[in-house]
A and B are shown apart, each in its own frame.
Chain A
Amino acid sequence: MAGNRGRGRSQFTFNVDTLRFGRGDSLPTSAHTPSPLFPPMQFRPVPLHTGEEVDYMLALKQELRASSKNLPFHIKAARTKTDVARYSDKYQNGEPKYNCIEWSPDWSRMPKELCIKVQKTRKTGAKPQLTQKPKVAARKEEVLQKLETLEKREQEQHSEEEEDEEKKKQNEEEEEEPDEDYDEEELEDETDYIISYFDNGEDFGADSDDNMDEAVC
């Protein structure tokens, strides 16, 4: 077999007859590129079925698709935060909350580890004030330190008010942090006194250094 190599130019290893192409025919050209992505079709496809049944199922399919987007099973990922925190973010309710589930499955049929602790939603009235209180307290502490280095008279007056505020806020913060299942009534009882006593306007006005000097005067 090895001896045949080189003798007889166009000799193939397979029996040419069985493959039915003669010696003169050229072999099919080899492919240089991958086959095209959308090769031209030899035959056109058969048209789709038509009829009442087909139309009804089409309508059903589109309805199912549309309604499944409104069901609580459709989970949307949160929008990625843009570079700057905007004022309007606070008022947009579209943010999905991760820590609650909008429908309640039967937890006895699912493993316990999947149960998400649901946080009771507070009324929106209490929310801005609660978020403001820690910020206000922090600012208050900075201001206190600044005031201590400045005039003592203003410091005494303010510190009286601020100590009251601080004590109450510290109490609230301690109550807030560990357990968020507290009833909103309890917190509101705690904060009622402060809500009426301290207005937002006064707090805002009193924060900046410059204004405080003038307001006291």
Chain B
Amino acid sequence: MTAQEVRLCGLLLQEHFGDVVEKVGTHLIRSGVLTLRALAHETKLPLDLVKKSLCVLMQHGMCAFGAGRRGPAGPVEYHIICEHILHMLRYPRYIYTAKSLYGDTGELIVEEILQRGQMTMSSTVKTVADRLTHNMPEGQSMDYSEVVSAFSRLVETHFLQRCPPMASAGSSSSEAVNTPLPVVTQPTKPEDHPECYRLPYINLTGQGKRRRSSEDGEAEQRAAKKTKTDNSERGDEGIYWQVNFQRFHLHFRDQAIISAVSCKLDQTSSEIVRTMLRMSEVTTPAHAAFTQALSANEIFRALPFSYNIARPILDQYLTLLVNDPMEFVGRTGDSGGGMYVVNLHRALANLARATLESVVQERFGSRSARIFRLLLRKRHLEQKQVEDFAMVPAKEAKDMLYTLLSENLVQLQEIPKTPDYAPSRTFYLYTVNQLPTARLLLQHCYKTVGNLIERRLYETKENKRLLEKSQQIEAILASLQATGAEAAQLTEVEEMITAPERQQLESLQHHINKLDSSENQVDETIFLLESYINSTQAPP
């Protein structure tokens, strides 16, 4: 774990779960693997607080436990899964995707499960139905069956999966010998279990309940007691569902490829690529370099009705896609009118390369970007060759190269002519390696998001007094309106915030919105670079 990743994880944990969990989490990330006692001792927090924090982290799938170094008889050891903490940045994107695919119901299901980490199907359905009923006009309520059908669709398309069953973790029970704890180094993946996507049979009928604001406290208590007894009746206790992040990532990757094709070529080509990807969704494994081969006949049959293109036109489009230098689509055979695949890894590499080039362009200007692109294509060039190929005057080329070199975007490769590396008798070649540069940029992105979060916290802290005052006034206004006050009283309360304060509040809100928006946008770049880097590594 790099320093920037640890810092970002700490900030995210603090935002969502508070200071205590942040302290426990960052210490555990830095130490790697620890037992409970060691963790409590080193963080100097009370044991109960440490236990609570670990429960929270495990509930959200960010912490895992396993048999320690001393085997099943020794104390249990805990370790943090950093990627899941970094995924917290992307929660809005997951929820928005679920909304665009499955509507409001799907959106709320994914939101509930993301916020609570793991949930049973019945409790999810009830909570979501209640929330939807709350937003509906009076008299209507949401039927459970609709929510159940949305849930089933999410599971069928693998966006939700069952949490992997845990071996019994009791160290004192005699069954510990028969069911060994998972070894810390090899976590069981959810997909290893055959029933990962099987829906349990539950008899859940009814409708969402509208919660009246007057009976808030009591109703919640009663509801809390009810859920404990209800779960055992519904028939799916012990079966918890979590969000399948990998599936969402595959979806985002497909979206990125499709939008790249539509930007570079045109809408019809992007539709063809979308059809190809849709057809090979379930047959392509997660880390495959290309999709399954599809024949042109199949693609023609599977195109959506709105695209009424003739068969020869489709062939022309496919040829265009194959000949395009971005190499999104490749031709692997001639049977069935031509067998075509989508080159996933190559597409990711090209998207990452485009990101790097655009970063250089925006930071250093278009001529530096030209030099950078040149070096990417030609691999190794001497300084004189760089000037000639890039058609940039010598002095400026030298300046730009040195700036890029100082930023570590360009590396210098020495090729000696003589065994002593005498400078006058050595070739100095400039080169760009895409993978290390992508890693460097990814770390920059983590640092950027960390800075954005810290700046937002700083802005909020600076104006804390003002924010609290505005919140109090809003509360007063709300209560006055609920009890039916006159307009004069309302305006009097509103005037308690002076005009310059109002302006200050508005500009504060504007800044916070901008910072949040930037975080979301940097996260898109993070996703692209992470996917590219993961695709170059061998599959686990």
A contact set with B: CB distance below 8 Å:
13-15, 18-21, 42-43, 45-46, 48-49, 53-54, 56-58, 60-62, 64-65, 67-68, 71, 73-77, 98-99, 101, 104-106, 108-116
Report B-chain residues with C-beta under 8 Å of the C-beta of A108: 166, 168, 238
Does any Cβ of A come within 8 Å of B458's Cβ? no
**Docked pose: A13 CA to B383 CA in angstroms:** 18
Does any Cβ of A come within 8 Å of B527's Cβ? no
Q: Are A111 and B92 in contact (CB under 8 A)?
A: no
Report B-chain residues with C-beta under 8 Å of the C-beta of A14: 423-424
Report B-chain residues with C-beta under 8 Å of the C-beta of A113: 36, 51, 75-76, 171
Q: Are B17 and A54 in contact (CB under 8 A)?
A: no
Does any Cβ of A come within 8 Å of B151's Cβ? no
Q: Are A114 and B383 in contact (CB under 8 A)?
A: no
Report A-chain residues with C-beta under 8 Å of the C-beta of B166: 108-110
Q: Are A76 and B48 in contact (CB under 8 A)?
A: no
Q: Are B46 and A98 in contact (CB under 8 A)?
A: yes
Q: Are B96 and A75 in contact (CB under 8 A)?
A: no
Q: Say what secondary structure dominates the interface of chain B.
A: helix
Report A-chain residues with C-beta under 8 Å of the C-beta of B318: none
Q: Are A75 and B383 in contact (CB under 8 A)?
A: no
Q: Are B516 and A15 in contact (CB under 8 A)?
A: no
Q: Are B238 and A15 in contact (CB under 8 A)?
A: no
Which of B56, B170, B364 has the most chain A CB atoms inside 10 A of its CB? Answer: B56
Given the contacts A43-B363, A58-B517, A77-B19, A64 and B115 also touching, CB distance less than 8 Å? yes
Does any Cβ of A come within 8 Å of B379's Cβ? no
Given the contacts A98-B48, A108-B238, A60 and B96 also touching, CB distance less than 8 Å? yes
Q: Say what secondary structure dominates the interface of chain A.
A: loop
Of the residues A42, A46, A76, contact of B20 by C-beta under 8 Å = A76
**Docked pose: A106 CA to B165 CA in angstroms:** 12
Given the contacts A13-B423, A13-B424, A15-B423, A43 and B521 also touching, CB distance less than 8 Å? no
**Docked pose: A110 CA to B36 CA in angstroms:** 13
A-B contact count (CB 8 A): 147
B contact set with A: CB distance below 8 Å:
15-21, 36, 46, 48-49, 51-56, 58-60, 65, 75-76, 91-93, 95-96, 111, 115-117, 163, 166, 168-172, 228, 238, 240, 362-365, 382-384, 387, 394-395, 398, 422-425, 428, 513-514, 516-521
Given the contacts A18-B384, A57-B93, A75 and B18 also touching, CB distance less than 8 Å? yes
Q: Are A112 and B517 in contact (CB under 8 A)?
A: no
Given known contacts A77-B19, A111-B65, A111-B169, what 9 new A-B pairs fall within 8 Å (CB)?
A: A54-B520, A57-B520, A58-B513, A58-B516, A62-B516, A64-B111, A71-B116, A77-B18, A109-B240
**Docked pose: A26 CA to B486 CA in angstroms:** 79
Interchain nearest-CB distance for B464 vs A (Å): 15
| Closest residue of B by beta carbon distance from A98 | B48
| Closest residue of B by beta carbon distance from A77 | B20
Report B-chain residues with C-beta under 8 Å of the C-beta of A65: 15-16
Given the contacts A18-B428, A68-B17, A98-B48, A60 and B517 also touching, CB distance less than 8 Å? no
Interchain nearest-CB distance for A29 vs B (Å): 14
Q: Are A112 and B91 in contact (CB under 8 A)?
A: no
**Docked pose: A77 CA to B48 CA in angstroms:** 11
Report A-chain residues with C-beta under 8 Å of the C-beta of B172: 112
Report A-chain residues with C-beta under 8 Å of the C-beta of B111: 64
Of the residues B18, B19, B96, B163, contact of A56 by C-beta under 8 Å = B96
Q: Are B92 and A64 in contact (CB under 8 A)?
A: yes
**Docked pose: A48 CA to B517 CA in angstroms:** 8
Of the residues A13, A20, A101, contact of B52 by C-beta under 8 Å = A101
**Docked pose: A42 CA to B403 CA in angstroms:** 12
Of the residues B36, B59, B170, B520, contact of A73 by C-beta under 8 Å = B59
